[in-house]
Structure 1
């Protein structure tokens, strides 16, 4: 038994060392699951994709574990959004070779597509937010402290940016694994074709509910809303770790009624009682949106499943009866 255990440990140590030098054993590691969906589609049949954040965790406040650090050190490629989203990634990624990580929000092709954070998007949140800011300054300051910088960093909710992410991952893997170029090329081609098909399908599905107003708990969905012309009336909080204050909730409740909102959306990771309290007695339905794809397994079609599932979550609440 001892001999077997010693053999296993030795094998594990060799595997760790090999992972840093032998390309065939290298992994792609992504910070969050939706980036894992994109990476696993491109790396399918070539190399393994792993995700740091487990289901139910939030990029807003995650702390790396020792096992995460080892995973990052032994990875061949790290894919993340950037320091304004995953602050916890900044130090360990800085220790990686520059050509071994992709911070998607910093890519030249992505930068022009970034949306302003907070209220500076296409939807009119001004009334709710300005009232809340006037009456509930302390909560606003808390939100500002935790804001993702100037831009909305939930870029994986943009099919357009996700396509660019797929290209960037493909190009980097071709550099690292030139012998697998044909397979990587085929994977990218399939991803782009499936994304175009899924995008059209979702546009058709969401078209009948485009004019129905709703509130989201967490200000995360701007890219998806812009892509499909949805009518978001506002959000409860910028950072889901911070509960909105009483005055803001009062203003949102008023808006729910005045703007004839159809739905209020919570999230699987954050199901605050305040959502139910605000909606109670208004006739507004409560739905759930999952911006991280909990429960979806990594695979070549997982990003399409993720977008489709999110679309179904919108329609199931907005359509109602």
Structure 2
């Protein structure tokens, strides 16, 4: 790849080259949560642009001309990585080849969790987590974390047999890293470092904003932990396996996922396995997502005592900006708690 992947080991000269004297760097962020964190870090200096609009899938999106121009004008691109938005790699290379690209999955301190296998999950200790404390990826090579199937458009059109087989071969790391608030803090610190190097006149502001964000998130993490503690033993099923980070951080754990990912259609065998799990009688809630038809949720809970709830991992109906990320976490906690508690 020809674009410059910044891993915080890049030279000061590399980052400074993107700066504009007297002006804040032009920043593009791929998804709402990333844009929100970046907006918090840039508060008082500038505002990041958003590439994937609210309600659109980050797994496969065709940019409008205005969005392509915005990406082309960017000095810095904050990207959730190839696992979440593989389609963006080409446009970054062709349109933003001179920009600094921060792959947030490679940011120092970001903890990665492996995808879980199968439709139903067994409780386990999260010893498969690892972080990027060294940030040492000088080349854009994600072979060891390859999850092309997560965003492969063809995957949604495979026959049921192939989908069932894929359920047992969904390897690599879960890309929904922002759902662990401590990952979000690491992301903010990495953003501040890139921005401070590119724009030294405002370095103190970026780093102060990141420190303030860390303090606020620590307080929020405590609040959410207290809210979810009473329902931590409840069993639930999610629409797709995108909440692993949130679960691991707050001591709750899904019993299964209807879909392999939000970019694929579940096989008949997978749906049947989930229905059997729900009919076992210990599933309290099954959570839909606002971007998808809830009919499948109604189907799998029909004839059971399980309740339907909604979780939104992207904050698609929230107002973009610095307040979106904490509101997203609060909404996840509130919706999960209320459904599991039967409120």
TM-score (norm 1): 0.83
Question: Normalized per residue, which structure has more helix?
Answer: 1
Name stretches of at least 5 consecutive residues in structure 2 with no aligned partner: 1-17, 125-159
Which residues in structure 2 correspond to 1:243-254 (within 5 Å)? 243-254=265-276
Runs of 4+ in 1 over 4 A off after TM superposition: 19-23, 141-145
Aligned residues: 290
Contact 2:164 2:270 in 1 (8 A): no
Q: What CA deviation, in whole Å up to 9, does each residue of 1:162-208 have, x standing for no partner?
A: 11100010001111111112221221121011000000000000000
Query: Are residues 246 and 300 of structure 1, via their aligned partners in 2, closer, same or farther at CA, if it must alter by over 3 Å?
Result: closer
RMSD (CA atoms): 2.5
Q: Corresponding residue for 1:140? A: 164
Contact 1:78 1:102 in 2 (8 A): yes
Distance (Å, rounded) in 2 between the aligned partners of 1:23 and 1:247: 59
Contact 1:20 1:75 in 2 (8 A): no
Contact 1:158 1:227 in 2 (8 A): yes
Q: What CA deviation, in whole Å up to 9, does each residue of 1:133-181 have, x standing for no partner?
A: xxx5322346689x5x511011011111111100010001111111112
Greater shift in the superposed pair: 53-62 or 260-269: 53-62
Q: Which has the larger radius of gyration?
A: 1
Contact 1:139 1:244 in 2 (8 A): yes
Contact 2:228 2:333 in 1 (8 A): yes
**Is the partner of 1:48 in helix, strand or coil?**
coil
**Is the partner of 2:254 in helix, strand or coil?**
strand
- Paired residue for 2:198, among 172, 176, 181? 176
Name stretches of at least 5 consecutive residues in structure 1 with no aligned partner: 1-18, 127-135
Measure how far apart 1:25 and its partner are.
5.4
**Is the partner of 2:286 in helix, strand or coil?**
strand
Contact 1:213 1:259 in 2 (8 A): no
Distance (Å, rounded) in 1 between the aligned partners of 2:209 and 2:20: 24
Q: Corresponding residue for 1:308? A: 330
Query: Are residues 32 and 173 of structure 1, via their aligned partners in 2, closer, same or farther at CA, if it must alter by over 3 Å?
Result: same
Measure how far apart 1:320 and its partner are.
1.0
Q: What CA deviation, in whole Å up to 9, does each residue of 1:280-301 have, x standing for no partner?
A: 1101100000000122223333
Which residues in structure 2 correspond to 1:1-321 (within 5 Å)? 21=20, 24=23, 26-95=25-94, 96-97=96-97, 100-110=100-110, 113-119=111-117, 123-124=121-122, 137-141=161-165, 150-258=172-280, 260-321=282-343
Q: Corresponding residue for 2:7? A: none
